Amino acid sequence: MTVGTYDRVPALETGGHAAPAASQLTRLWESKPGISGWLSTVDHKELGKRYLATAFIFLALGGIEALMMRLQLAQPNQHLLTPEQYNQLFSMHGITMIFLYAQPILSGFSVYLFPLILGTRDMAFPRMNAFSYWVYLAAGLFMYASFLVGAAPNDGWFNYVPFALKPYNPGPNMDFYALGMILLGISTTAGAANFLVTMLRTRAAGMSINRLPILTWGTTTTSVGILFSMPAVSLAFFMLWLDRQFGTHFFDSTARGQPLLWQHLFWMFAHPWVYIIVLPAMGIVSDALPIFCRRPLVGYTVVVLATIATMVMGFGVWLHHMFATGLPFLALSFFSGASFVITIPSAVAVFAWIATIWTGRPVITTAFLFFAGFISMFVIGGVSGVMTASVPADRQLTDTYFVVAHIHYVLIGINLFPVMGGLYVWFPKMTGRMLNERLGRWNFWMVFIGFNLAFLPMHWTGLAGMPRRIYTYPDGMGWGTVNMVTTVGSFVLALGVLLLLINVAISRRHGAVAGPNPWDGPTLEWTTPSPPPPYNFATMPAVASRHPLWEDRLEEGMGKSSLQRGMVLANGKEMLAVTPLDGLPDAILKMPEDSYSPLVATILMTAGFTGLLLHWWWFAGACVFLLLACLVVWLWPERTLGQIAGARHV
Amino acid sequence: MSDATIRPEALPVGSIGRKASGWWGMLTILMTEGALFAYLLFSYYYFAVQYGRGFLPDELPKFRLSLPDTIILLISSVFVWWGERGAKRGANLQLVFGLLGTLILGVVFVGVQLLEWRDKPFTIGSSSYASLYFTITGFHMAHVIAGLIMLSAVMVWSLLRYFDAERNSPVSIAAVYWHFVDIVWLIVFFTIYVTPRLW
Lowest mean pLDDT among A232-236, A455-459, B54-58: B54-58
Q: What is the pLDDT of residues A105-152, one digit of tens each?
A: 999 999 999 999 999 999 999 999 999 999 999 999 999 999 999 999
Within 13 Å of residue A122, how many CA atoms lie on the same side as its CB? 28
In chain A, residues 132-161 whose CB comes closer than 8 Å to chain B: none
> Domain locations in chain A?
51-417, 597-641
The predicted pLDDT at position A258 comes to 95
DSSP string, A362-400: ----HHHHHHHHHHHHHHHHHHHHHHHHSHHHHHHHTTB
The 10 Å Cβ neighbour count of residue A614 is 12
Q: A642 to chain B nearest CA, in Å? A: 4
Q: What is the pLDDT of residues A472-488, one digit of tens each?
A: 999 999 999 999 999 99
- Comparing alpha-carbon positions, the chain A residue that sits nearest to B167 is A645
Helix (H, G, I), strand (E, B) or coil at A168: coil
Among residues of chain A, what percentage have pLDDT more than 70? 98
In chain A, residues 566-585 whose CB comes closer than 8 Å to chain B: 566-567, 571, 574, 576-577, 584-585
Is the pLDDT score of A492 beyond 90? yes
Lowest mean pLDDT among A44-48, A139-143, A561-565, B127-131: A561-565
* CA distances for A554 relative to A212, A522, A547, angstroms: 17, 11, 8
Do residue B21 and residue A192 have CB atoms under 8 angstroms apart?
A: no
Is the pLDDT score of A4 beyond 80? no
- One-letter-per-residue 3-state SS of A624-640: HHHHHHHHHHHHCCCCC
Q: What is the mean pLDDT of chain A?
A: 95
Q: Examine residue A162 and say whether the peptide bond preceding it is cis (omega within 30 degrees of 0).
A: yes
Helices (H) and strands (E) in chain B, counts: 6, 1
Lowest mean pLDDT among B4-13, B94-103, B151-160: B4-13
A478: left (phi over 0), alpha (psi -120 to 50) or beta: left
Among residues of chain B, what percentage have pLDDT more than 90? 91
Q: What is the pLDDT of residues A250-267, one digit of tens each?
A: 999 888 999 999 999 999
Nearest CB to B166: which of A5, A542, A571? A5
Mean pLDDT, range A308-313, rounded to an integer: 96
Is the pLDDT score of A646 beyond 70? yes
Long-range contacts of B85-94 (CB under 8 A, 24+ apart): B87/B158, B87/B163, B87/B165, B87/B168, B87/B171, B87/B172, B88/B17, B88/B165, B88/B168, B89/B165, B90/B164, B90/B165, B92/B158, B92/B161, B92/B163
pTM of the model: 0.96
Do residue A258 and residue B128 have CB atoms under 8 angstroms apart?
A: yes
In chain A, residues 246-265 whose CB comes closer than 8 Å to chain B: 246-250, 255-258, 261, 264-265
Q: In this structure, are residues A131 and A635 in contact, taking their beta carbons and an 8 Å threshold?
A: no
- One-letter-per-residue 3-state SS of A540-559: CCECCCCCHHHHHHHCCCCC
Residues of A in contact with B47 (CB under 8 A): 256-258, 261
For B27-43, b/e burial (b = at least 16 CB within 10 A) is bbbbbbbbbbbbbbbbb
Mean pLDDT, range B96-119, rounded to an integer: 97
Is the pLDDT score of A360 beyond 90? yes
- Comparing alpha-carbon positions, the chain B residue that sits nearest to A200 is B24
Do residue B166 and residue A4 have CB atoms under 8 angstroms apart?
A: yes
Nearest CB to A264: which of B2, B46, B130? B46
Do residue B39 and residue A231 have CB atoms under 8 angstroms apart?
A: yes
Q: What is the mean pLDDT of chain B?
A: 94
Q: What is the pLDDT of residues A370-398, one digit of tens each?
A: 999 999 999 999 999 889 999 999 999 99
Residues of B in contact with A4 (CB under 8 A): 12, 16, 166
Using a CB–CB cutoff of 8 Å, tell me whether A9 touches chain B: yes
Is the pLDDT score of A3 beyond 70? no
Rounded CA-CA distance A401/A465 in Å is 8
Q: B127 to chain A nearest CA, in Å? A: 5
Reported as a pLDDT band with limits 50, 70 and 90, residue A557 is low
Nearest CB to A227: which of B9, B31, B167? B31
Is the pLDDT score of A647 beyond 80? no
Element housing B176 (H / E): helix B169-189
The predicted pLDDT at position A648 comes to 64
Residues of A in contact with B167 (CB under 8 A): 6, 642-645
The predicted pLDDT at position A188 comes to 98
Rounded CA-CA distance A90/A81 in Å is 12
Q: What is the pLDDT of residues A584-617, one digit of tens each?
A: 999 999 999 999 999 999 999 999 999 999 999 9
Element housing A255 (H / E): none
The predicted pLDDT at position B1 comes to 56
The predicted pLDDT at position A468 comes to 95
The 10 Å Cβ neighbour count of residue A358 is 11
Lowest mean pLDDT among A75-89, A212-226, A323-337, B28-42: A323-337
Do residue B25 and residue A242 have CB atoms under 8 angstroms apart?
A: no
Q: B141 to chain A nearest CA, in Å? A: 16
Nearest CB to A649: which of B14, B24, B55? B14
Q: Which CATH fold would you assign to the domain B37-46+63-198?
A: Four Helix Bundle (Hemerythrin (Met), subunit A) (1.20.120)
Is the pLDDT score of A650 beyond 70? no
The predicted pLDDT at position A1 comes to 41
Residues of A in contact with B15 (CB under 8 A): 590, 637, 641-643
Using a CB–CB cutoff of 8 Å, tell me whether A327 touches chain B: no
Nearest CB to A235: which of B6, B36, B54? B36
Is the pLDDT score of A530 beyond 60? yes
Q: What is the pLDDT of residues A393-425, one digit of tens each?
A: 999 999 999 999 999 999 999 999 999 999 999
* CA distances for B123 relative to A252, B126, B130, angstroms: 17, 5, 6
> Domain locations in chain B?
37-46+63-198
Do residue A248 and residue B167 have CB atoms under 8 angstroms apart?
A: no
Rounded CA-CA distance A315/A269 in Å is 8
Do residue B32 and residue A231 have CB atoms under 8 angstroms apart?
A: yes
- Complex ipTM, two decimals? 0.96
Confirm or reject CATH 3.40.50.1370 for domain A51-417, answering yes or no: no
Residues of B in contact with A258 (CB under 8 A): 46-47, 50, 128
Nearest CB to A193: which of B29, B50, B149? B29
Do residue B14 and residue A542 have CB atoms under 8 angstroms apart?
A: no
The predicted pLDDT at position B2 comes to 61
The predicted pLDDT at position B199 comes to 75
Nearest CB to A585: which of B5, B46, B168? B5
Do residue B28 and residue A577 have CB atoms under 8 angstroms apart?
A: no
